Amino acid sequence: MNLAFHTLALIGRFQDPRVAEAMTALAAHAQSRGLTVLVDDAASLPVTAPVKRLPEAQLAARAQLLVSVGGDGTLLHTARLATGIDVPLLGINRGRLGFLADISASEMLERFDDVLQGRFSEDRRHLLQARIVANGQADRVMQALNDVALQKCETGRMLDFETWIDGCFVNSHGGDGMVIATPTGSTAYALSCGGPILTPHLDALVLAPISPHTLSDRPIVIDRRCLVEIKPVAQAPMRAQVTCDGLVFGDLPMDGRLVIEPIEAMVRLLHPPGYDYYRILRSKLHWGRGVRVGQTDL
């Protein structure tokens, strides 16, 4: 068999029995195809054939393919491991929604063989870069595939802050915060804030206020190459926290600002034959179900 990949790394929360079962089956299947399988040296998988165990931080640099087994959170974690390393990702869904990890466990081995034999499409998704700029402190930097979020923390009070785009004042806000999402992240936190769904390859961002006090404060869509700045307004003591893809990045001080800037770094996602973004939307969001008699179930 002429293979497109010869070394793969399996990444997942092996403590979850469903994930461990899928990882074990996939490892055995890959080894039967002659592949070298890498796993986190902390993973306790009952794999009969030998696997190579490495610290998780080294897996992306040693593999030709990263296979994320779990939900979208696991795939986001895998994407962070691949930051700065040109290695593709394949997602096996053992979570709930699975917008990113789009291969079901029931078809895992069949679809994996398709990818091994080069039958796949490649999907490149841009990352965001967030910086917390504070007087007298070195800038902190973090990247995100889905979104950067500013949220109130440990308080019942609203956050008061301003948004600026490319140096131009946009609006002042009162509410629980703001989500700045890529098209990839438009179906995540931003969607629950009333933001629109952006198709993956739009060069755009969504700015979606979280529980705004003013009902006219609506999500907006801007060019991906814009520089977005968020600045607290010092009206009362408050704690504002920044997260990137759900991970805590740090607090935004009252004299600081959050800068979201475009970068050219991308994540490479692989999809098996028949991948259809709109079918995934219909399936995960239950569009068109139970409304008309005789309709086709998606």
CATH number of the structural domain spanning residue 192: 2.60.200.30
Residue 250, classified by CB atoms within 10 Å of its CB into exposed (0-12), middle (13-18) or buried (19+), is middle
In a domain, 97, yes or no: yes
Q: Which element (helix H / strand E) includes 62?
A: helix 59-62
Residue 237 confidence class, pLDDT cut points 50, 70, 90: low
Q: What is the mean pLDDT of the chain?
A: 90
Q: Which two tokens stand for residue 57?
A: 């931080």
Q: What is the CA radius of gyration of the chain?
A: 21
Q: Quick check: is 2 in a domain? A: no
Q: What is the DSSP string of 140-153?
A: EEEEESSEEEEEE-
What does the chain come to in residues? 298
| Average pLDDT of the segment spanning 84-96 | 91
User: Distance between CA 251 and CA 141 in Å, rounded?
Assistant: 13
| Selection from 171, 196, 162, 165 nearest residue 182 by Cα | 196
Task: Give the pLDDT of residue 65.
Answer: 98
142 Cβ contact partners less than 8 Å away, ≥ 6 residues apart: 129, 130, 244, 247, 249
Domain membership of residue 69 (yes or no) is yes
Kindly state whether residues 134 and 71 are assigned to the same domain.
Answer: no
Indicate whether 140 and 259 sit together in one domain.
yes
Looking at the fold, whether 143 and 222 belong to one and the same domain comes out as yes
**Predicted local confidence at residue 236, as pLDDT:** 63
pLDDT band at 95 (very low <50, low <70, confident <90, very high): confident
293 in a structural domain: no
8 Å CB contact between 270 and 262: no
Instruction: Tell me, yes or no, whether 209 and 106 share the same domain.
Output: no
Place of tokens 């895992």: 108
pLDDT confidence bin for 294, thresholds 50/70/90: very low
On whether both 260 and 133 belong to a single domain, the answer is yes
Q: Do 246 and 143 lie in a common domain?
A: yes
169 bridge partner residues: 164
Pair 131, 260 in one domain: yes
Q: Find all residues with CB under 8 Å of 65, minimum gap 6, and list them.
A: 5, 7, 8, 9, 87, 88, 89, 90, 115, 270
Among candidate residues 16, 40, 72, 217, the one labeled active-site is 72
pLDDT at 44: 73
Domain annotation covers residue 292: no
Tell me whether residue 297 is in a domain. Answer: no
Q: Nearest-CA neighbor of 39 among 10, 68, 13, 60? A: 10
Output the pLDDT for position 255: 87
170 — pLDDT class (breaks 50, 70, 90): very high
- Domains in the chain, number: 2
Helix spans in 82-186 (H) = 108-116
pLDDT: which is higher, 155 or 13 = 13
Same domain, 73 and 111: yes
Residue 116 shares a structural domain with residue 47: yes
Q: Does residue 277 sit in the same domain as residue 221?
A: no
Share of the chain above pLDDT 70, in %: 93
Find, among 165, 158, 155, 148, the residue nearest to 211 by Cα: 158
- Which domain does 194 fall in, by range? 127-264
Element (H or E) spanning 27, and its range? helix 17-32
Give residue 290's pLDDT band: very low, low, confident or very high (50, 70, 90): low
pLDDT band at residue 1, thresholds of 50, 70 and 90? low
CA distances from 82 to 34, 59, 75, 87, 190 (A): 24, 9, 10, 7, 24
Pairwise CA distance, residues 40 & 128, whole Å: 27
Q: Does the residue 27 lie in any domain? A: yes
Is the pLDDT at 235 greater than 90, yes or no? no
Residues 147 and 95 in one domain: no
Per-residue confidence (pLDDT) for residue 47, from 0 to 100: 60
pLDDT for the residue 239: 84
Q: Does residue 12 sit in the same domain as residue 39?
A: yes
Identify the band that residue 293 occupies on the pLDDT scale cut at 50, 70 and 90.
Answer: very low
pTM over 0.85: yes
Whether 72 is catalytic: yes
